[in-house]
Structure formats: structure tokens, C-alpha cells
Amino acid sequence: MQSRRKPSRLFVKNSEGPQRDVILKVCQEAVKQGVQIQRVSKQTLDKMCGGKVHQGLCLQASPLGFITEERPITSHEVKNHRALWLILDGVQDPMNLGAILRSAYFLGVDRIASSIHN
């Protein structure tokens, strides 16, 4: 858990059967980082995540600040190529966002703009 946000609590869905290996690994890492783990029902996780995808985990962390001022485009960027922008709207699943960002990086996207609400 290395980021610009400070994690404080990991909510894990109660499970009647054995936990998936990936869930166990996340919990072990949380304990190493001093993050409190709390078991909750699926309904509680659904409510916490506003009905969005959670895959049995939800991490409570400090807010992430957004950059509100853009970095000026350098003369080098202007002379050598047209800047490629990616505009995102309505991306709700964090896994989809991660895939989009990795693909954008690989494809040479210069800038990404997104709303702070979705």
C-alpha cells in the first residue's frame, strides 16, 4: 500500500467459506502497514461503496487531493508533436480506470482529464 493517501481501515466481507488467497494477501499487507481490519457483511460493503464494484474489500483512506492547475505545455512538446489528450467521463469501476491509465501510458497519451465526481 504505497500511495499519496494514508490508509486507516480495511473493510473485508464476511465469508462463510475459505477466503480467497488474494484477500488473505491484502489483509496480511494491511496488518504489516498497521491498518485496522474490520469484517462486515456484503450489504454493509454494498452500502459503503454506493452499490459500485468492491470485490469484497473496501479501504478507508485519507482524501486524495486533485491537481486543479495544469502544467503548461512546453515548447518542446508543441514543436515535436500534437499533444494527445484522453478525456474520461463516467468511469466508475476502479479496475477499469487502472486499465485505462495503463493503456493510455503505453499508447503515449500526454494528458488525461477527468471529472472529480465519476
Q: What is the pLDDT of residues 46-91, one digit of tens each?
A: 999 888 888 899 999 887 665 555 666 566 655 656 778 899 988 8
Say yes or no: 81 and 38 in one domain: no
Decide if 43 is inside a domain.
yes
SS3 15: coil
- How many structural domains are present in the chain? 2
Q: Are residues 55 and 80 in the same domain?
A: no
In terms of domains, do 14 and 56 share one? Answer: yes
Whole-prediction pTM: 0.54
Q: Give me the sign of the Cα torsion angle 93, 59, 103, 75.
A: positive
Residue 34 sits in a domain whose CATH number is: 3.30.1330.30
Identify the domain containing residue 48 by its residue range.
7-61
Is residue 39 in a domain?
A: yes
57 lies in the same domain as 87: no
Dihedral, 35, 17, 46, 27 alpha carbons, nearest 10: 10
